[in-house]
Each structure stands twice: as C-alpha cells, then as structure tokens.
Amino acid sequence: MPHDLILLGHGSGGALSHQLLDELVVPTLSGISQAGRDDAAVLDPVGGRLAFTTDCYVVDPPFFPGGSIGDLAVNGTVNDLAMMGARPLYLSTGLILEEGFSRDDLARILTAMRRAADAAGVAIVTGDTKVVPRGKADRIFITTSGVGVLDHGLTICGSGARPGDRVIINGTIGDHGIAVLAAREGLELSSDVTSDSAPLNDLVAELLKEGDAIHVLRDPTRGGVATTLKEIALQSKLGIAIREDQLPVSREVGAVCAILGLDPLYVANEGKLLAVVAPEAAERVLERVRNHPLGRESAVIGEVTDKNEGRVTMETVVGGMRAVEMLAGEQLPRIC
Amino acid sequence: MNYRDEYRDRELVQGLADRIGHLADRAGRTMTFMEVCGTHTMAIYQYGIRSLLPPGVRLISGPGCPVCVTPNEYIDRAVAYCRLPETIVATFGDMMRVPGSSSSLMAERAQGADVRIVYSSLDAVALAMKNPGKRVIFLGIGFETTAPTVAGSILAAEEKKVGNYFVLAAHKTIPIPMQLLSADPETAIDGYLCPAHVSAIIGGAAYRSLAEGHGVPCVITGFEPADIMRGVEMLVRQVVEGESLVENEYSRVVQWDGNRKAREVLERVFVPCNATWRGIGAIPGSGLAINERYACYDAERALPVTAEEPREHPGCRCGDILRGKITPFDCPLFAVACTPESPVGACMVSSEGTCAAAFKYGR
C-alpha cells in the first residue's frame, strides 16, 4: 500500500484514520503527540463578549508564491475575528481530502497552518478529517471556525462609518489575487508577485489603542477593495469618495492587471484591512499602522461623505470622476 | 520613463481638457466621435474621461469589442463542440460567459464539458500536444491584432506536426465596418478614434480612403488617458479647421505602414470572407477564413457539427449599441434584465463591452 498518498481508508474512521491523525494531523496542528479522543474541546471561560466565525477555503492551486491554502485557512478566519475588534483565541478545522492527494503536500499544508496559528497566537483545538473519492473534490478543501473575545466595549461594524471619516488601507492592493492567478495559469510574466496572506490581529490590537475613533474594520478579500467599500457605503447609508492616486498598487501588480485587463480594485487581498476612522484621529492611526510591519505602505485613500448615499466614487489619476461598483461575477481575463 | 505613468499625468490631462474646451467653443456645435475599440471604451469609463470633456464633445462606442460582435451562431457551434466526446475547447477568458441561443461555455463547463481558458493560442497548441488522445478546438476570435497570433499557432501546429489542433475561426477586420457606420446619417459620426493595437498591424494607410474619400477625420490613438485626450483634441481641431486626415497620435507604437511581418503571417493562413457581426448583420469582406492550404486545421471543415438554430433575445439592443445609435442607458434591459451576472447580450459580458463598462463605472 503506498504510504505517500491519501486513501479513502484514511477517512473511514477506522485504523487508517487513527494512524493519519496520530502520526500527522494532530501532532502537526496542536503540537501534542497523542490525539485527544473526546468529541469536543473544552475551553476555559473568557471575560467578554465572544465573536464567532467560519470560512471555507478551496483555493486553486493549494500552493502559490507567498503561501498556501494552509496559512490562508488560518489567517482568513483570524482576520474575520479581528475585523470585529475581537482577539482571536481558538480555531477548529475541517479537512476534506481527495483520494490520492499527496501525504507530503498535506504535511506541508498542516505545517503552514500550525505556523500561521502560532504567529497569530491562536490554538487549533478541534477538527475533523474526511476523504472523498477521486474527482469528488479538488485535492484539498479546508474549513476553519474561530472564536475570539472582545476585550473592550467598542462596537466595530460595517454600519459604523460617519460623515468626514477617513478610509485607511495598510498597504498595496491585489497582491494575493495576482499571485494565485499567476500560479494557477503559469504566467511567467509575474513571477515576483507574492501573496500578502498575513494575520491582522496584532495590527488591529494596535489600532484599537485609538479606542472609539475606529469605526469600521474590514478585510477586502474576494471582490477586492471596491466591493468592500461599496458594502460599507451601503451598510452605513453614506457615500465614500476615494482617490485613485492614493491607492497603493505595486508596479508588478499594476503591470499584470494592465496586460490581463483586470482592475486591482477588484482583486483579492489576504493581509489587508480597510479602517474607517474619525478624521481627528486619522493622522495618528496612519502613523500607528505605518510603524507596524504589516502597514509600512499604508495610505489614506478617501473619506466618507453624507452625499451619494450608498455609492462609492473615485477621482481617477487624471482627475476624472467615476463610480465604483461591486464585482459582478468573476473577473475574466480579456482577449486583447 | 516607463511609457505609462507619463500618460496618466494629471496636469497634462487637465491642460488637454482646457485646450479641447477652447477648440470646441470654436466649433459652435456638438461633435460626435466614435471610439471603435473596446479597450478605448473601457479606458474612457475607467478614467472618467467624459467628465473631463466639454458638453460639445460626445464620445460614442463602436463595434470594436471582438467578443461583443461574435454572433450567437458562433457560440452555439462552440457549445456543440463542447458536447463532443474527447474534446477540449480552449478559449480566451471573456468568451466564457457570452450567452448563445440557449447555453454558454460557462454553463457547459459546469455540466462537465472540458473548457479551458488560455492566454495565447500557442497555449492551446501546447494543450493539444499534452493531450494527444483528444481534439483541442481553439476559439479564434478577434481583429487584426489577434488574427496573426492565431495564424502563427496554425503554422506552429504544422511545424510540430500536431494533428489534433483545430481553430474555430471568426476573425474580423475593422476598416470596412467603419466605412459603413460613417455612412449612417442617424449616427452622424464626426470622426474616429482609431484603434491602437489594430493600427499597429494594419498601419495608418488602412484608414486613408475613409478620411480622404469619405471625409471622416481619423486619429490613431493610444489607450492611456493622455493619449485619448490628445486624440480627441486632434479630432476637434480637424473638425474646426475643416480637415479630414489620418493622423497618428500613437506614433510611439504605430507606424504608417503597420507591421508587415504580422500581415504576412496573417495572409499565409487566412483569406477575406463575408462575416456576420452580432447585432449588425452580414458585412461582405469583413471576416477572415482559414484558406485551403490549412483547411485541415479549420474546425468547421475538419469537424463539422450541427448546432441549434440561433435565436436572439427579442429585447436585446446590442446591435444598436455596437453601431453607436444608443447608449447602454437607453436600453430597457440595461441593469434590469441584463447584468454582468446574468447577461442577455454580449456587450454586457466582455470586460471590453460597452454595457459592462457602463455598468461597472458609469452609473
């Protein structure tokens, strides 16, 4: 029997399942050699309101420049908790493996999950593994759920923007989407773009030192910055005006987007946040973000207005005005 | 200098806007210019160019989005190929969602068809070499910019003796429909922003009869915002001064006699043919068909299929939009029944489509 492949029996619940869990999954994810055999993790009480979230990860390909589905699965859920102002504590994970998936690749992904969890200061405390027949899944799907605690009384949500607020982003946009696209399509022209996948909870903790000046936090993942800003404008029933010349876009991402006919405003990010903050605190917030390793290229990209309710407008680099709408469907590379 | 940022310079563009404003005052009437190419359409929306132009200058979009002018019957035939066993259909990405009479490539893929997005026709030849037990059918659409690369893929397949690579060709050429549209009194086109990359192949000479014979000013224009503003300025100046010339704003790329090598490759493989333009109809001599010598790579001749009878959506006004007769906002389906998620007409699908641009940037 080949030892280097995942077989249907590894998800059967029987001896092979136990072997995979004991030898690989549990020690890698939790650092404990013996799997706990109980049906649920028991957590210590925490003092504060809880935030709870879940997400699914189906990225193709599972490995790409700057990361893998493993760190994405941890960072994505950590970031969703952080965007509510919560301090992430515990994660659960579900692994759905396609029969025939490489055991080495699984080990690499689990190691990436563990490293990301350690970096974010969260523990993966429970999980489940299933194997489906070949062709019924694309190599590996991961779900993670996360619990975090709110250590403060602030309410940070998408409807919290106020007229005059400034919109801050913590760095260049579109890196993750272009890195994955390049890996998926084998584009030689963009070999040096890497994913920005990163846990944002430490940066958020820094931001929360500004207290109630922080009104909205959102991570612009799928759909990109454009879609997230539009969501905030709709939820807050206000307008948002941004300036294209303030949007940080790396040269490489700008070039690939220009060639393929994509708009970086709609390309996914995995280590970026949009912060909507009170105008009087904007300079201080910007400085805090810029002093953080994940925010060196941060910028104020626009402001909230009481005009144009529910709309996002952009002053283009050449001074023209246009609307910014949500991503419709998927961005498709163009013919010419 | 990186040939991009200097053409997105705010002060340069504002200066051009001022000059266009002064010139347009001298014209004393509204001027209508058509940008033929879909990439121009997109750039005009993306940079908010219309908001920089005076009310006397009106830009309308033309038939230069290759996906948009591809007729239903072509999609239907591609769908029929998708349903053949042991067949891979390879296509540029923006063809995926274009609706045919009753299906699309995206819908076929969701039901199990093997449809692959490629970035170049040579990728499709490589796909054929990697899958010798299957047929690979490449959807060859596009204008004079794309056609030489597809011709090149057929030559590459011949050289490498690849017997399982086929092209479903629906290439089109731009100058003839431009002449037809300029003769339409309803649209009353005062000048053309001529396509940038197509012109790099066909050269400025291709527009001479349009400018000198039909009296329509033509300016070959690049895709950056300063290019477009300068192209508009040159058109306004020609109108004000009563001239009709072919001018080249995009001289950093386009030469007067174009790219002879690319045209030679194109002419080795393709011959002119009649072509159907979605929404416009048949235009004699405006298409490119694979010639006899390379007939074995022509999917239509080598692998005949029966497709369904083509049907157009009764309310779809893509044809009027492609001819510049109406704007997307005049179409009753726009943003109501026809959206990028569920497009009725092709103009809503392609990233270069007028309706897609208007939906994304213009509302």
pLDDT-derived band of residue A198, with 50, 70 and 90 as boundaries? very high
Secondary structure class of A287 (helix, strand, coil): helix
Q: Are residues B241 and B201 in the same domain?
A: yes
Q: Please name which of A168, A141, A123 lies closest in space to residue A31, comparing C-alpha atoms.
A: A123
The larger pLDDT score, comparing residue A22 to residue B172, is at B172
A328 touches B: beta carbon within 8 Å: yes
**pLDDT tens digits along A64-77:** 999 999 999 999 99
The answer to the question of residue A335 being in a domain is no
Range of A25's domain? Answer: 8-37+46-150
**Beta-carbon separation of A261 and B46 below 8 A:** no
Averaged confidence pLDDT in chain B: 93
The answer to the question of residue A72 being in a domain is yes
Q: Domain containing B301 — which CATH number? A: 3.40.50.11740
The answer to the question of residue A99 being in a domain is yes
pLDDT-derived band of residue A202, with 50, 70 and 90 as boundaries? very high
Residue B143's alpha-carbon distances to B76, B195, B251, B319, in angstroms, are 20, 10, 20, 18
**Beta-carbon separation of A318 and B13 below 8 A:** yes
Q: Per-residue pLDDT averaged across B198-206, rounded?
A: 96
Q: Domain containing A97 — which CATH number? A: 3.30.1330.10
Q: Are residues B265 and B132 in the same domain?
A: yes
**Beta-carbon separation of A318 and B225 below 8 A:** yes
Q: How many CB pairs under 8 A join A and B?
A: 109
Measured between CA atoms, the residue of chain B closest to residue A244 is: B47
Chain A residues close to B117, C-beta within 8 Å: 185, 332-333
Q: Are residues B217 and B352 in the same domain?
A: no
Q: Are residues A138 and A251 in the same domain?
A: no
Q: Are residues A70 and A188 in the same domain?
A: no
Q: Are residues B211 and B332 in the same domain?
A: no
Q: Are residues A281 and A173 in the same domain?
A: yes
pLDDT of A243? 97
Q: Per-residue pLDDT averaged across A191-198, rounded?
A: 88
Q: What is the ipTM of this complex?
A: 0.74
**pLDDT tens digits along B148-176:** 999 999 999 999 999 999 999 999 999 99
Q: Per-residue pLDDT averaged across A276-285, rounded?
A: 97
Query: Which 228-287 residues of chain A touch chain B by CB within 8 A?
Result: 245, 258, 260-261, 263
Beta strands in chain A (DSSP E): 49-57, 63-64, 67-68, 87-98, 123-132, 140-150, 166-169, 214-218, 239-243, 274-277, 299-305, 312-315, 321-324
Four-residue CA torsion sign, A135, A98, A331, A66: negative
Secondary structure class of B210 (helix, strand, coil): helix
**pLDDT tens digits along B226-270:** 999 999 999 999 999 999 999 999 999 999 999 999 999 999 999
Range of B324's domain? Answer: 318-362
Provide the number of structural domains found in chain B.
2
